[in-house]
Amino acid sequence: MTKPDDTIRVLIPLKIRKKNGRPKIMPPADYRPSEDQTQDPHILRAIGRAWGWRRRMDAGEFSTIQELAEAVGLAERHVSRQLRLAYLAPEVLKRLTCGREPSAVSLYDLGFLAGEPWQEQMKQALEEAAP
């Protein structure tokens, strides 16, 4: 048992570097990511952002996409494209966020896929991901 004045020091070999002007924590050179983490971080970030924007619009914080785009400092066209991801079929979202296989659908394609009916979304997303 440790005493209140004892100090425990944990060293984790990480480096902080700037990437695209932002600090990024870099793992050690010999680090290999686990095989079960295959989700594309760009897709996950875009889906999360889209759901956040959708909630803000549903709450009445913004009445138009133009107002939202101005508030977040992005182009209206970009916000409109990204916002579509909040309307993907639940099964497609589950596969993209919780699936253990890499997604064969690009972020660009997902924007167009979101405009399709849910059954069509599932069929296209599953067909493209199948070998």
For the chain, domains (ranges, CATH) are: 41-129 (1.10.10)
Residues 42 and 111: beta-carbon distance below 8 Å: no
What gap in Å lies between CA 85 and CA 128, rounded to an integer?
17
pTM comes to: 0.64
Local structure of residue 95 (DSSP, 8 states)? H
**pLDDT digit string (tens) for the chain, length 131 residues:** 557 677 777 676 777 788 777 777 777 777 665 555 566 788 888 999 999 999 999 999 999 999 999 999 999 999 999 999 998 888 888 888 776 556 667 788 888 888 888 888 888 876 655 54
- pLDDT value of position 102: 61
**Tokens 């209206």 — which residue?**
76
What gap in Å lies between CA 88 and CA 74, rounded to an integer?
22
What gap in Å lies between CA 83 and CA 96, rounded to an integer?
16
- pLDDT value of position 72: 94
Instruction: Read off the tokens for 82.
Output: 């990204």
